[in-house]
Chains A and B, each alone.
Chain A
Amino acid sequence: MPWIDACALVDIEEEDLVRLDHEGRTYAVYRISGEEVYCTDGLCTHEKVHLADGLVIDHTIECPKHNGQFDVRTGAAIRSPACEALSTYPARVVDGRVHVEIP
């Protein structure tokens, strides 16, 4: 899978995320702190709501619709009604840009 230039690191606040649309799919790119970044699918596995409107708390993303939670590192669903894990993708910071490896 190719590495994609998602955005500048400064475009994502610490403990926040942005939405990334690529090739007809939606992803969520997270910045926890400093250069610690992650990437997951962008839609909640419960009812396909955009996670980009959600809240990052430590290493979890909370879905804006029903407060289901996922661990952004592993994609694991950790609070219902989210039951199914999110897919995760490698992410890194290169020269102040966030790169993600997505299909």
Chain B
Amino acid sequence: MDPVRLITFPMERDYSLTGPERQNAFDKGLAGAEWYRTPVDRKVLKSLMKRTDWPATRDIAIWVAVLVGSGAGGILLWGSWWALPFFFVYGVFYASAADSRWHECGHGTAFKTRWKNDAVYELASFLLMRNSVVWRWSHARHHTDTIIVGRDPEIAGMRPPQLIVLCLNLFGIVAVPQSLAALARNAAGILPPDEADLIPESERDNAIRVGRIHIAIYVLVALVSLWSWSLLPLMIIGLPRAYGIWLLLVMGLPQHLGLAEDVLDYRINSRTVLMNPILRFIYLNMNYHIEHHMYPMVPYHALPKLREVVKHDLPAPNPSLWNAWSEIIPCVLRQLRDPRHFIRPQLPEGAGVWEPVRSNQTA
């Protein structure tokens, strides 16, 4: 039996990609449907989508410099309590900041130069213990069928919310063993049904190869740790995915948590939260989440400008993370009793109305 089952609440709906909700999504025309997007003049959009290498070169360079600096500090002070603040910073940049770089480079929007996006994407995938092939396809599906139950593999806030798991995952306690197990399965040549549902035949060998590379490196680091009888190698590679991920959850869970399922309008199932420049640097502006889903081709550095263009049509943003969590926590607590409860954002007066164009795709 999967031990995680012991700490999960029974769910009303089946969030897997191969269960009955999958068929349901197709039957209701929710799979591969057309979504509402605030109209933006093509000229304006083109200028927002424009690619350049400079902002990402700067932001990745700062990220690497912080990683190297804090990692070196942690190594030099290993054995003393003074190492703690260095590992605190190292962990946040290794895991939480890697996620947004992984995401932006996965979309191919960070750099204009393709190989730079690919290189950072592969590195960040490794740091986050994600199979870069599997997750590329899973994220594509997340964009096709955002929070459509039975289709979206990236629904973090199922109903009722798995609060124990979410809290443990602030330090990767459930997610890290699950991620390593998933990589090990891939390394063994296995793609479970949910992954097979996402990845086309032609990409499957690649997924297995990536799983093998990741597992080989992690095994090597674990052996060095054992051989030297020191936790230090694992504190540098591997464990930061656990001890540094908490900030990503704090910033990232509000993207969709507590909002509607099975709607074809990002304004209703996604959340934009205003954040300070330091958090926005770590998170590469993914706090502009409705805007990102509407126009995923707009690079992170242009999202504040995109927001200015579309904000008349969007619900008011949460003015801070604190404010976002103040609406999320009561909502998820209520969902424990009433899984159908969710937050309905208020669209501004005059906002565009969407006649959902449901798809006629079949499963």
Instruction: Decide: B297 and A80 in contact? CB cutoff 8 A.
Output: no
Decide yes or no whether B214 CB sits under 8 A from chain A: no
Residues B76-123 near A (CB distance < 8 A): 107-109, 112, 114
Q: In the complex the two chains form, is A81's CB within 8 Å of B51's CB?
A: no
The reply to whether B297 and A54 form a contact with Cβ atoms under 8 Å apart is yes
Interface size class of A (residues with CB under 8 A): 10 to 19
Q: Does A73 contact B (CB under 8 A)?
A: no
B136 close to A83 (CB less than 8 A): no
| Interchain CB contact under 8 A, A67 and B296 | yes
Per-position binary interface string of chain B over residues 110-141, scored 1 when its CB falls under 8 Å from any chain A CB and 0 otherwise: 00101000000000000000000000110010
Residue from B32, B140, B200, B203 whose CB has the most chain A CB atoms within 10 Å? B140
Q: Which 7 A-B pairs have the closest CB atoms?
A: A66-B140, A81-B140, A67-B108, A55-B49, A67-B107, A64-B297, A55-B297
Report chain B residues within 8 Å CB of A16: 46
Interface residue A47 (Cβ < 8 Å from any Cβ of B): yes
Shortest distance from the beta carbon of B215 to any chain A beta carbon, whole Å: 22
Instruction: Verify A62–B297 contact, CB threshold 8 A.
Output: yes
Write the residues of chain B forming the contact surface with A, with a CB cutoff of 8 angstroms.
32, 46, 49, 51, 107-109, 112, 114, 136-137, 140, 143-144, 200, 202-203, 295-297
**A60-B297 Cα distance, complex, nearest whole Å:** 14
Determine which residue in A13, A16, A57, A78 has the highest number of CB atoms from chain B within 10 A of its CB, and name it.
A57
Assembly CA distance A72 to B253 (angstroms): 38
Bound state CA distance, A21 and B108, in angstroms?
A: 29
**Is B107 a contact partner of A83 (Cβ separation < 8 A)?**
no
Q: Is A80 a contact partner of B296 (Cβ separation < 8 A)?
A: no
Between A and B, 24 residue pairs with Cβ closer than 8 Å are A16-B46, A46-B140, A47-B32, A54-B297, A55-B49, A55-B51, A55-B297, A62-B108, A62-B297, A65-B143, A65-B144, A66-B107, A66-B144, A66-B296, A67-B107, A67-B108, A67-B109, A69-B114, A78-B114, A79-B114, A80-B137, A81-B136, A81-B140, A83-B203
Given A62-B297, A79-B114, A81-B140, 9 other A-B contacts at CB below 8 A?
A46-B140, A64-B295, A65-B144, A66-B143, A67-B109, A78-B114, A79-B108, A83-B200, A83-B202
Chain B, interface SS category: helix
Instruction: Point out the residues of chain A lying under 8 angstroms from B112, CB to CB.
Output: 57
Bound CA span A57–B50, Å:
9
| A57 vs B46: C-alpha distance when bound (angstroms) | 11
Cβ–Cβ contact A80 & B203, under 8 A: yes
Look across to chain B and name the residue whose beta carbon is closest to the beta carbon of A55.
B49
Chain A: minimal CB distance from B297 (Å): 5
Chain A residues near B296: list those with CB within 8 A: 64-67
**Interchain CA distance A15-B266 in the complex, whole Å:** 29
- Chain B residues with CB under 8 Å of A67's CB are 107-109, 296-297
Q: Is the CB–CB distance between A81 and B108 below 8 Å? A: no
Within 8 A of B (CB), among A45-103: 46-47, 54-55, 57, 62, 64-67, 69, 78-81, 83
Instruction: Report chain B residues within 8 Å CB of A81.
Output: 136-137, 140
User: In whole angstroms, how far apart are the Cα atoms of A69 and B115 in the complex?
Assistant: 13
| Nearest CB on B from A28, distance (A) | 14
| Closest residue of A by beta carbon distance from B49 | A55
Closest Cβ–Cβ distance, residue A5 to chain B (whole Å): 22
Residues of B within 8 A of A54 (CB): 297
Q: Least Cβ distance of B46 to chain A in Å?
A: 7
